[in-house]
Amino acid sequence: MIMSKLRSLFREFKRPSNIRILACAVLFAYVWGAHNWGDPALFSNGWWFDVLGHFIFGVGLSFVMLYWIKLYAPESYILSGKLNIARQIIEDVTIIEAIFWEGFEMLWDLQIQPNYASWLARAQNSSADTTSDIIITSLGAIFAMFLWWCWRKYHEKRWPNDTEKESIESAKAKSRALAKEILATRKSHRKQIYNEFKKSLKETVRTVKKIDPS
């Protein structure tokens, strides 16, 4: 099972589009990481360059996630709706930036840099720098999703497809009906569990009373 999953993961990794994404990520890491790693003062040229990097990161990651949703979860891409997809991607990009990247920078400044790489610069200038990084990355994600939304609206207006709309509405209706059926089944199952628990509890009480009539 594990080997099968690993082989499947490797096949997806070899997909040309994913290789291009990896290449862009490596280039980005080199330009804004290894090549320009530093601790610039707020509003300096280096700080503005870092801001640009966070904005590009927000835009790029948003489009990558959008592509992955379309590729690996087409049902969500079609049925969730543009607004829900955009909101989810913006939230995910913000979480990745705030928790993983800024968390790594905090770990770098507190443990890695002073103990193992003191010759390298610190990652975080101040709380204002950290906050601005998160905000700029989120704005990049919002900008990317706004561009995508505009393109989708233009595409729908320029090349309308009534058959596609009908198919989507039909799929949504079937999905809602199936969801209601699943929820009803869950409710019935919970009721069954409750009844079994109540029956077991009553039997336990009767057994205890037989053992100790007082």
Measured between alpha carbons, how far is 53 from 59 in angstroms, rounded to an integer? 10
Q: What is the pLDDT of residue 39?
A: 66
> Over 80: is that where the pLDDT of 50 sits?
yes
Q: Which residue has the higher pLDDT, 127 or 143?
A: 143
Q: What is the pLDDT of residue 34?
A: 66
Q: What is the pLDDT of residue 5?
A: 66
**How many angstroms from the chain centroid is the CA of residue 13?**
19
Q: Are 58 and 144 in contact (CB under 8 A)?
A: yes
> Over 60: is that where the pLDDT of 37 sits?
yes
Q: Which residue has the higher pLDDT, 66 or 211?
A: 66
Q: What is the pLDDT of residue 8?
A: 74
Q: Which residue has the higher pLDDT, 144 or 38?
A: 144
Q: Which residue has the higher pLDDT, 47 or 56?
A: 56
* DSSP structure string for 141-176: HHHHHHHHHHHHHHHHHHS--HHHHHHHHHHHHHHH
What share of the chain in percent tops pLDDT 70? 87
Q: What is the pLDDT of residue 174?
A: 87
Q: What is the pLDDT of residue 123?
A: 66
Residue ranges covered by each domain of the chain: 36-160, 162-214
Q: Which residue has the higher pLDDT, 92 or 210?
A: 92
Q: What is the pLDDT of residue 108?
A: 74
Q: Are 12 and 18 in contact (CB under 8 A)?
A: yes
Confidence tier at 6 by pLDDT (50, 70, 90): low
Residues of the chain by 3-state class (helix, strand, coil), percent to 5:
85, 0, 15
Confidence tier at 213 by pLDDT (50, 70, 90): low
